[in-house]
């Protein structure tokens, strides 16, 4: 829009509005106020102090008035964030919708104390306004009784994803993303460009990064692992189930894979190496080596104490196993039976003998039928000597049937 003086002379046009942004501040940012306006031309911009600007309404039209032309010095500009340059058309996270959206416009509120950014417009109406056809479409929509969707996200609820400009500070930078489910966060990160994808992923703590990495497309898993140092990638893979880590390492170049295996904890590395030995279409290739097993002479109280102390991931509780001292699978026991039984009851009295199982070298095709027939959440996997090696959980079976995990 044009900028007018008190004498109604045109001073210039608004090229951008700048808000105060202090990247060193530890305080939670609130709605920022406009502190400067960019005018002049793109090649020769001029910046004025917004303190001496007024935004008025005259006959339903907005008029921008400059009462005094006070220039902003160049060294001061480093503390300001240009809204059009950095926010418009950028991707942000809609935390409620759990998806990436594009900023089509910004909602400002002008009150006696100043002009503030209150929301970002990610709706259709904002896009039409940017194109200069909003009023035309509104007239047509009104005749046809069709609504034009408008959607705003409060500035406080916005997380920035463009970390290339350290001045950008919207809401709590990236911390709100951590409230999302790993699957939702994986979907969002997958939609980002490569540099932003890496920046956002690196902002997560190791536990969450491992959970998110499990949910991502295999090609992107490889990209992210290769973008990390050997030490950091190894730490991350150690926090993943061995079968998930094996799937990723199997897709890497041989040299890189060997470096990671050598850097990883010896026990975890050994488990991963064993899984990598299995053929691609064998049960062992999607088997998890994380499981809980007990001896038949243990009591219910001892088993529950072990579970509480171990704090296992949910899939590990899909099926609990009873093994002999030589490691052979002899029975299963359900979490339900543990919970409802008296603490002093021994497991042999509540366990289910002769459980359905598969061998690690069996074909994957056999799993779907077994899970369906016996209504199992997890299938125990044994070797040729009937020693328990791991289990295959239903999640991985479904993923394999859908082709989501096996891309070899």
pLDDT, residue 172, reads 40
Closest CA to 83 of 115, 105, 55: 105
Domains and CATH numbers, the chain: 2-160 (no CATH), 180-277 (1.25.60.10), 293-402 (3.10.580.10)
pLDDT, residue 169, reads 35
pLDDT range class, residue 165, cuts 50, 70, 90? very low
Q: What is the pLDDT of residues 36-91, one digit of tens each?
A: 999 998 889 999 999 999 988 887 788 999 999 999 888 888 888 888 888 888 77
Cβ atoms of 302 and 293 within 8 Å: the answer is no
Q: What is the pLDDT of residues 278-295, one digit of tens each?
A: 988 889 988 989 999 999
Q: Name the percent of the chain lying above pLDDT 70.
A: 88
Average pLDDT over residues 304-326: 93
Q: What is the pLDDT of residues 217-271, one digit of tens each?
A: 989 999 999 999 999 999 999 999 898 899 999 999 999 999 999 999 999 999 9
Distance, first Cα to last Cα, the chain: 56
pLDDT range class, residue 173, cuts 50, 70, 90? very low
Q: What is the pLDDT of residues 133-158, one digit of tens each?
A: 777 777 777 777 777 767 787 777 66
Could you give the 3-state DSSP secondary structure of residue 164?
coil
Task: Give the containing element (helix H, strand E) for 65.
Answer: strand 61-66
Residue 36 tokens read as 């400067």
CA-CA distance, 5 to 12, in Å (whole number)? 10
pLDDT, residue 370, reads 87
Among the listed ranges 122-126, 305-309, 338-342, which one has the minimum average pLDDT value? 122-126
Angle between helices 242-249 and 230-238 (to 10 degrees): 140
Q: H helices within 55-94, ranges in order?
A: 83-86
- State pTM to two decimals: 0.61
pLDDT, residue 96, reads 62
Among the listed ranges 16-30, 109-123, 283-297, 327-341, which one has the minimum average pLDDT value? 16-30
R_g over Cα of the chain: 30
CA atoms in the 13 A half-sphere facing the CB of 367: 29
Name 282's bridge partners.
363
Q: What is the pLDDT of residues 349-406, one digit of tens each?
A: 999 999 999 999 998 887 888 888 888 888 999 999 999 999 998 887 777 666 654 4
Sign of CA dihedral 178, 184, 186, 191: negative
For 378, residues 6+ apart whose C-beta sits below 8 A from its C-beta are 315, 318, 319, 391, 392, 393, 394
CA-CA distance, 176 to 381, in Å (whole number)? 40
Closest CA to 386 of 327, 333, 332: 327
pLDDT, residue 205, reads 84
Cβ atoms of 19 and 35 within 8 Å: the answer is yes
């Amino acid at each position: 829009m044009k900028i007018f003086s008190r004498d109604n002379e045109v001073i210039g046009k608004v090229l951008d509005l700048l808000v105060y942004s202090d990247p060193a501040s530890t305080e939670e940012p609130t709605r920022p106020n406009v502190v400067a306006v960019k005018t002049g031309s793109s090649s020769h911009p001029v910046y004025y102090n917004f303190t001496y600007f007024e935004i008025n309404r005259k006959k339903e039209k907005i008029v921008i008035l400059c009462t005094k032309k006070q220039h902003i010095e160049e060294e001061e500009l480093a503390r300001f964030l240009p809204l059009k340059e950095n926010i418009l058309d950028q991707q942000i996270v809609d935390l409620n919708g759990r998806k990436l959206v594009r900023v089509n416009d910004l909602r400002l509120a002008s009150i006696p104390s100043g002009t503030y950014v209150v929301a970002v417009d990610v709706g259709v109406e904002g896009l039409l306004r940017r194109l200069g056809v909003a009023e035309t479409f509104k007239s047509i929509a009104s005749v046809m009784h069709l609504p034009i969707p408008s959607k705003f996200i409060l500035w406080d609820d916005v997380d920035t994803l463009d970390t290339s400009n350290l001045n950008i500070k919207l809401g709590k930078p990236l911390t709100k993303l951590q409230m999302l489910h790993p699957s939702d966060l994986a979907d969002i990160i997958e939609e980002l460009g490569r540099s932003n994808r890496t920046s956002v992923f690196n902002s997560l703590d190791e536990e969450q990064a491992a959970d998110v990495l499990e949910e991502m497309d295999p090609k992107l898993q490889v990209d992210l692992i290769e973008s990390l140092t050997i030490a950091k990638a190894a730490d991350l893979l150690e926090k993943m189930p061995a079968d998930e880590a094996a799937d990723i390492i199997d897709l890497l170049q041989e040299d890189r894979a060997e470096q990671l295996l050598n850097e990883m904890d010896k026990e975890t590395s050994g488990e991963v190496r064993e899984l990598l030995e299995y053929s691609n279409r064998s049960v062992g290739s999607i088997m998890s080596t994380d499981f809980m097993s007990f001896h038949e002479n243990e009591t219910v109280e001892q088993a529950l104490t072990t579970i509480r102390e171990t704090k296992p991931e949910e899939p590990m509780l899909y099926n609990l196993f009873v093994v002999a001292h030589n490691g052979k699978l002899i029975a299963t026991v359900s979490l339900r039976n543990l919970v409802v039984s008296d603490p002093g009851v021994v497991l042999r009295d509540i366990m289910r003998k002769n459980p359905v199982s598969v061998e690690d070298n069996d074909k994957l095709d056999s799993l779907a039928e077994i899970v369906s027939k016996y209504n199992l959440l997890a299938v125990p996997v044994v070797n040729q000597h009937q020693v328990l090696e791991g289990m295959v959980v239903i999640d991985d079976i479904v993923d394999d049937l859908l082709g989501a995990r096996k891309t070899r």
